[in-house]
Amino acid sequence: MAKGFGVSRTKTPCPCGSGEVYDLCCAPLHQGAQRAVTAEQLMRSRYTAYALSKVDYLIATHPTPHLSDQQRRKDLRSNCRQTRWLGLRIVSVEGGDAMHLEGIVRFEAIFSVAGKRSVLRETSQFERRGGVPDGDWLYVKGLSEVS
Ligand SMILES: [Zn+2]
């Protein structure tokens, strides 16, 4: 078990690849101290949440009414345990800015499962909670492709 995973990461580069340290990049979003201003920022913070097993953040930023939080927590925990996330590249962004209600982010994420490296390419769809300008960015769904 990855107990104590989030401890003393102060100077650790953020897994999302922004070049910033984690504490100044995705951490304030994970801790609820800041909200994502853009869809890309939410996407990066969700990638980092996968990398660091921040399961509650993944649940909070991706509503799935047909699944219980308990089931999702179980699925995400096992996913995070099995997968090592090795790098993120944002390919393109449409909309998803401070003045938008929706956004599309295309990305590539390198990961390994059981020592086998793969690339996940996904076109992710984001929208604001409630469809209003001051709603938090949420991940809606993604069309993904693994190679
Ligand atoms: Zn980050």
Rounded to the nearest angstrom, the distance between the alpha carbon of 134 and the centre of ligand 1 is 22
Q: Residue 75 falls within a domain, yes or no?
A: yes
Question: For tokens 């992710």, what's the residue?
Answer: 124
Rounded to the nearest angstrom, the distance between the alpha carbon of 24 and the centre of ligand 1 is 8
Q: How far is CA 42 from the centre of its chain?
A: 6
Rounded to the nearest angstrom, the distance between the alpha carbon of 46 and the centre of ligand 1 is 9
Rounded to the nearest angstrom, the distance between the alpha carbon of 17 and the centre of ligand 1 is 6
Q: Residue 16 falls within a domain, yes or no?
A: no
Q: Residue 11 falls within a domain, yes or no?
A: no
pLDDT of residue 1: 43
pLDDT of residue 6: 54
Report how far residue 23's alpha carbon sits from residue 8's, in angstroms, rounded to the nearest whole number.
10
Rounded to the nearest angstrom, the distance between the alpha carbon of 143 and the centre of ligand 1 is 22
Beta bridge partners of 139: 126
Q: Residue 3 falls within a domain, yes or no?
A: no
pLDDT of residue 14: 96
Rounded to the nearest angstrom, the distance between the alpha carbon of 22 and the centre of ligand 1 is 6
Rounded to the nearest angstrom, the distance between the alpha carbon of 138 and the centre of ligand 1 is 17
Residue 101 identity (one-letter amino acid): L
Residue 104 φ then ψ, to 5°? -125, 130
Q: Work out how many domains the chain is built from and give that number.
A: 1
Report how far residue 147's alpha carbon sits from residue 133's, in angstroms, rounded to the nearest whole number.
36
> For residue 133, what is the DSSP state?
T
Q: Give the domain CATH number at 129.
A: 3.10.450.50
Q: Residue 13 falls within a domain, yes or no?
A: no
Rounded to the nearest angstrom, the distance between the alpha carbon of 30 and the centre of ligand 1 is 10
Q: Residue 8 falls within a domain, yes or no?
A: no
Nearest to 109 by CA among 17, 28, 22: 17
What's the domain range around 77? 22-146
Rounded to the nearest angstrom, the distance between the alpha carbon of 77 and the centre of ligand 1 is 20
pLDDT by residue for the chain (147 residues), tens digit each?
A: 445 555 555 688 999 999 999 999 999 999 999 999 999 999 999 999 999 999 999 999 999 989 999 999 999 999 999 999 999 999 999 999 999 999 999 999 999 999 999 999 999 999 999 999 999 999 999 998 887
Q: Residue 92 falls within a domain, yes or no?
A: yes
Q: Residue 137 falls within a domain, yes or no?
A: yes
**Beta strand segments in 2-128, E:** 83-95, 102-113, 116-128
